[in-house]
Amino acid sequence: MDHMTQSLAQGWGKHNIQVNAVLPGLVDTEMMPCSGPNAMTRAVKFVSKKSPVGRYGVPEDFYGLSVLLASRASDFITGSIIVADGGLSIAM
């Protein structure tokens, strides 16, 4: 994913198209329930314990980043791999 993002950013940059990737950590979704009766309890506990923020992500955690990347404020951001995992990747 990293190389694809960077390759596309290089190829499409001349057309004023920015390409970035967001790498989420554990996020409470239908695919990976973190709460409720179908919660993946072991994974949730592990992530919450290891993560510097002490919790798993929720979709709302990505609203600001999504607005930024969709706005003109990100016109000079391209080829970036943005890790949004509550710091889990630095804690491992």
Instruction: Name the domain count of the chain.
Output: 1
Q: Is residue 91 part of a domain?
A: no
Q: Is residue 64 part of a domain?
A: yes
CATH code of 62's domain = 3.40.50.720
Which residue in 55, 56, 62, 52 sits closest to 90, CA to CA? Answer: 52
Cβ-contact 54, 48 below 8 angstroms: yes
Q: What is the pTM of this model?
A: 0.85
What is the structure's pLDDT at 54?
A: 95
What is the structure's pLDDT at 92?
A: 77
Q: Is residue 42 part of a domain?
A: yes
Q: Is residue 62 part of a domain?
A: yes
The Cα–Cα gap between 20 and 7 comes to: 10
**DSSP class per residue in 12-45:** HGGGT----EEEE-SB-SSSS--SSTT--HHHHH
What is the structure's pLDDT at 84?
A: 97
Q: Is residue 15 part of a domain?
A: yes
Q: Is residue 92 part of a domain?
A: no
DSSP H or E run through 84: strand 81-84
Per-residue pLDDT tens, the chain, 92 aa: give them.
Answer: 999 999 999 999 999 999 999 999 999 999 999 999 999 899 899 999 999 999 999 999 999 999 999 999 999 999 999 999 999 999 97
Identify the domain containing residue 9 by its residue range: 2-86
What is the structure's pLDDT at 79?
A: 98
